[in-house]
Structure 1
């Protein structure tokens, strides 16, 4: 693990176009060597109707892995120069009105970049799950806990921190397409198949009387940087927990449709967590 930290810090000095080129090649190596990875990536693409993008998805997955060295370890000012922001006015209007914001970011594009760009403009608290390898913890936490960017643990204590932050009119960030643990989610359709989906985003938004905004960072071709885009959430949250989760999943589908090759298709989104009873039936497309 120490060697991995050294590797990341070494890679961070290279230009982003070179890192993305290396990442694309690495994506193909992993795809060729791992049958289980290859099977899941293609199955999820087919389920979502995006199998035509599989070649791009292979390369983008490799870029997503290697760009972490740049985003986490390079000088923050250098990283910031590689991003442009669209529709910040959606955010500023809510900040000016003193309203809390729940930023929802799926595993699309460079999701680490979204938090950094928001934190350059306002304080942000994000839910954080420590890496399984303890040796990586200082690297990951140091990269994420930067100026204006605060971490809340993925437990009850962290939920309280997020709720308090929203009530104070400050924004928080969540990854809504992570599979939650038992008791923290409901089954809701995601690309036509039931996926165990967290209920926390809608609960926090209602508790803090906050607005939901969607955000993602799309990679530009040839390592030219990122475009961080903010998008209105138009789902209805005045309904049951299952309907709220379904509305948020639909919003994630709409974001993914903007850059389908850049979604994290190898993630086991449809797994059944320990202790969770499976869905009675799968949703229809």
Structure 2
């Protein structure tokens, strides 16, 4: 049923979908106390409270644009997406060097992999949705030409590492809370967040270049700009220091468009089986 609904909604123009999405964002914000509380707390922690109204509308747009991004024809979607600084990527591809693309939950992150796959083969880590009804929709939308999926388990990690060692690019969501044993506590906007160690390990294992990227959502439904930014951190030191370097890079990226970050995500949750971080004074 959802597949048919998304296909139907994909017929409509993006400006209309974004207008509906903005209204939906406010409806969810006003009707869901937990969503509203987490969004306000996370934005206040990061110092972006002044962007709250815009962030509420952008959160709704990020949902209602999915039928267009996932189900409209690739040619139609691509006409509304433009790559900025692709030369940075092409230089690494021409050198035969592997690339680890780090794409946080910023802007229309779903379109980033599609746009990269139009230009080169790409493998991305994929975690199936918890709702079974969404699985065929999500998998069908993401399995495009040149876009390969690796499951979020050890088998998938081996697939990513092998692909990377061949000098090919991979993609990872660095601000997704990992499962037990797959992360470390690292500062993110002044608070400890359980953070993936996988991106740094893969980059070092494949002697690869890290490039951070996101798709800025343009106003008025005019489309998206996929931006590619050099990673200016250092992967020297412990796994915790590496995770902090990646979090810092994400903070700088979010600062470009704070209203388009996914602030309602429970980024600071404690995964099952993981001890809570110890704060100053020795308290958890």
Given the two structures, how large is their TM-score scaled by the length of structure 1? Answer: 0.97
Alignment of 1:110-129 (within 5 A): 110-129=108-127
Match of 1:146 among 129, 133, 144: 144
List gaps (5 residues or longer) in structure 2.
none
Name the SS for the 1:132 alignment partner. coil
Alignment of 1:49-198 (within 5 A): 49-198=47-196
List gaps (5 residues or longer) in structure 1.
none
8 A Cα contact 1:106 1:175, kept in partner: yes
Alignment of 1:217-228 (within 5 A): 217-228=215-226
Match of 2:233 among 232, 235, 239: 235
Which position in structure 1 is the counterpart of 2:43?
A: 45
Which position in structure 1 is the counterpart of 2:272?
A: 274
Q: How far did 1:282 drift?
A: 6.1
Query: Pairwise CA RMSD of aligned residues?
Result: 1.0
Match of 2:253 among 242, 252, 255: 255
Alignment of 1:206-217 (within 5 A): 206-217=204-215
Aligned length: 281
Q: How far did 1:57 drift?
A: 0.5
8 A Cα contact 1:11 1:69, kept in partner: yes
Name the SS for the 1:195 alignment partner. strand
Runs of 4+ that moved beyond 6 A? none
Q: How far did 1:238 drift?
A: 1.6
